[in-house]
A and B are shown apart, each in its own frame.
Chain A
Amino acid sequence: MEETVSDAYGEPISAGATPHAGELTVQFDKAVDLARIEGLLRQARERGGGSPETVSTLNLVAIFFSAAQYEKAGEALEVAGTLHPCRLIAVIADQGIEQESLTARLSVVRSGGAITMERVVLSATGRAVRHLESAMMGLLRPDLPMVVVWGGRPQGDLLRRVVESADRIVTDSGARPPSYLTETASLLAKGAPIGDLAWARIFPWQALAADTLDVPDLREHRGNIRRARVVCAGAIGAEGLLLLGWMQSRIKRLEVEIRAEGEAEQEKASASTPVPRAARLGLGHVKLLEFVSPPATFTLVREKDVLISQVKGDDDGFCAHRVRLPPEMPGRLLALELKLLSGRDELYAQAVQAAAKLLATRT
């Protein structure tokens, strides 16, 4: 059935991606031979003389629509997969290339001797993409939760089927125009267990807002929050809408406002600091959150790598909190989302519903 099996040390393969050193690759011409893939995985596990013991806590399925998308996300998947040992099945369905091909690339990642990630990269082009879904289902390790990283738009038949079978689906609303939050809201309304990297991106803002209202002298303002305002960098982004949606879902009759101001930070050159810095302020990311509980106004603002909350109208105004933003590493947000392996994050679902309503009123 398969055409070639090779130790592809740097040898290019048909999906257009460059294989990693030590990968085993196999090409199929008609359908995927799952037993062959499992056999090669066994071979990969036994290579290098290390222990073939494998630790797994989940099936991590990542779905992409081009090899370039996968290559971009590869490092994050590997880091998150190392923090949450797993079988990673990356599926690349590239219908943009007409020629039919179907390839599996297999490798393992070791940590401290044991194998903490088995990686299967299934790439298909042309009509061969129709085999990917069943191949992916056949490669899942039994009894482990299945979390899908969805690299495409939140719509389509494939996503609908994935929603039915996955314990969790992780998407990134921040990577798309915010209008797609409406689609996400409708999936959530049907009970889809969706997680969102854009949601994880605003965790520090949420924590700081809550912490500020926990400052003993400021607790009196908890019951009277009337208005909230978010400013995004460069353009209105999903993060800002989610932040406002979250506040609206938590506080009754809250008037909200969102706008864009200034520009996003340029891509940083990779600075060689001993500790990584916080992620840059990207397009649509939150740069300011303000909420008013008369007479006090709470302003949370990002200054470089630090979030600062200030209060005015209560006494003479003071700085309630300053927190450093977490150091950014590839896969950090995904690893945060993978802490929840099944079910819905109700708080997120409510925030998305509120954000979708907000979007509807703006249009």
Chain B
Amino acid sequence: MPYAPEHDEIPNPLRPGLRADSAPEPCSVVIFGGSGDLAHRKLVPALYNLAVGAHLPAAFGIVGVSKSAYSHEEFAQEMREAVGRFSRTRPVDPEIWQDFAAGIRYVAGSFDDQETFARLRAQLDELDKVRSTRGNRLYYFATPPSTFPTLLKQLKAAGMINPPLDTRFTRVVIEKPFGRDLASARALNRLVLETCDERQVFRIDHYLGKETVQNLLVFRFANSIFEPIWNRRYVDQVQITAGEELGMEGRGRYYEEAGILRDMIQNHVLQLVCLSALEPPVSFDADSVRDEKIKVLRAIETFDTPEQVARNVVLGQYAPGSVAGADVPGYQQEKEVAKGSRTPTFAAIRLNIRSWRWDGVPFYVRSGKRMPKRATEIAIHFRPVPHPLFGEGTTQPNVLIIRVQPEEGIALRFSAKVPGERFRPRTVSMDFRYGTTFAAASPEAYERLLLDAMRGDQTLFTRKDEVEAAWRIVGNILKVTESSEFPPPHPYPAGTWGPAAADELLAQDRRVWRRL
């Protein structure tokens, strides 16, 4: 929502019933880490695409802040090249770019230096004058987490964070990883909330900006036929897979610190668990949805002992192998990765949600690097028919698959009669493909999330308690698996779906992973 009316304020007489989306208020977006990869590949192309779609206010500016030395013009030129390479709409439209680039500025300097922030402030004031950005600021921390405390302190010291109810908004977007365990996440939350109000904080998880992830809520709560069977009585198990075929791609140093548990499980994968398992929210506002997600996270059984972790968690690390017909090195041969590293690049976990709806239904989640292909999906496996009317083993249980990427869509696997005189069932799949059904190009996740942040809508951003609850689950696993007594991750050849131990995890329950 563009604004929250105060209780004594006269409501806007022109707002009710409007079908057109409102543009965000005029504002400047400050990208800390402006010369970095995220700004080049995602953020600036996303902002440009918002301009192309006429979703941005024309009174808009971007300020990049980094150590690298650029003039405004050099920075704008580099951003134009980045848009030309990474934008989903290409080629760059010269007229739209000209207007867009007129609001691009750059401030070079160290984040430790107060002078950097004095120059930034002056630059923002200048944009307010020449671009009518009206003092509204969206600060985007596209920087390593270690810089967050410094940035927050400097912004506060420079008087660049307005109170939440000020007429000029200040919002802070924070990239993952938000902390590296529960203690550091809590410390960071404390620091953030000493500087800002929770209403000003936008912790981004770009998975939540994906259309299919949002469609999961529509699918569950706009269709009456699925919700009655969305529970332990009808669902046998849920499998969530988030795999990618890529290896380190120059991110070895970051990955050594993070590993799969911090990089994927704590955020993206647990968000998918939440959206699959949450109860219907009372309304579709930010806090109602997030209240239901937090209930799921709190209901997930934590693993408090090494035995529990060993029984429910399998970690892996890729060894040399072949992906898509090309030989690829193992994790330990990647740049900036230590020989003998114990960092997991794969995790398979059996989660139990202790709730009325889900108790006893295992949620098997797995995520890994160097898988045979990029595939993220949620598969709801329903119970088999109670009586095999057409012969033992002739029918397979129904599976509902929500594909997050690639080929976003939904598929339902069910039995149909093979044409002929006998009753011979065969499993068939009914496929709904997002891209086919709705020919309109879906916006990139970052487009949606940046627009929401500019509008002040926090529905698709994670809240303080959500982050901490997710760390409680993953932190307990990390405590055990990062101790030297825990065995190192199981090696698996690159180009496979993880180590054999991941299959054994399901075999214990007489189940198998879905073949992807």
Contact = CB atoms under 8 A, between A and B. Distances in A.
Interface stretch (B56-64, B143-151, B258-266): B56-64
29 contacts: A82-B439, A85-B437, A85-B438, A111-B435, A111-B439, A113-B433, A114-B436, A116-B437, A116-B439, A203-B18, A204-B54, A206-B20, A207-B22, A207-B23, A210-B14, A211-B25, A213-B13, A213-B14, A214-B3, A247-B14, A319-B132, A321-B23, A321-B57, A322-B57, A324-B99, A326-B54, A327-B53, A340-B19, A347-B17
B25 A214 contact: yes
Nearest to B6: A219
Interface in A307-363: 308, 318-327, 336, 339-340, 345-347
Interface string B61-101: 00000000000000000000000000001111111100100
A55 interface: yes
B52 A322 contact: no
Contacts of A156: none
B57 A323 contact: yes
A214 B15 contact: yes
Interface string A205-223: 0111111011111010011
B437 A55 contact: yes
A275 B52 contact: yes
B121 to A, nearest CB: 21
Interface of B: 2-3, 9-23, 25-26, 51-54, 56-59, 89-96, 99, 132, 134, 167-168, 431-433, 435-440
B11 A222 contact: yes
A170 to B, nearest CB: 14
B403 to A, nearest CB: 14
**Chain A to chain B: the 10 pairs with minimum beta-carbon distance, closest first:** A322-B58, A216-B167, A112-B436, A203-B20, A207-B20, A347-B17, A210-B14, A275-B93, A223-B10, A324-B54
Nearest to A199: B19
A109 to B, nearest CB: 9
Contacts of B26: 321-322
B2 A214 contact: yes
Contacts of B54: 204, 323-327
Nearest to B433: A112
Nearest to B56: A324
A199 to B, nearest CB: 9
A45 to B, nearest CB: 15
Contacts of B53: 326-327
Given A111-B436, A112-B433, A210-B22, 16 more contacts: A204-B20, A207-B22, A210-B15, A214-B3, A215-B25, A219-B12, A225-B13, A250-B14, A273-B94, A275-B93, A319-B59, A321-B57, A323-B57, A326-B54, A327-B54, A340-B19
Contacts, number: 135
Interface of A: 53, 55, 57, 82-83, 85, 111-114, 116, 203-204, 206-211, 213-217, 219, 222-223, 225, 247, 250-251, 273-275, 306, 308, 318-327, 336, 339-340, 345-347
A273 B12 CA distance: 38
Contacts of B435: 111-112
Contact of B18 (A53, A111, A347): A347
Nearest to B90: A274
Contact of A114 (B16, B93, B433): B433
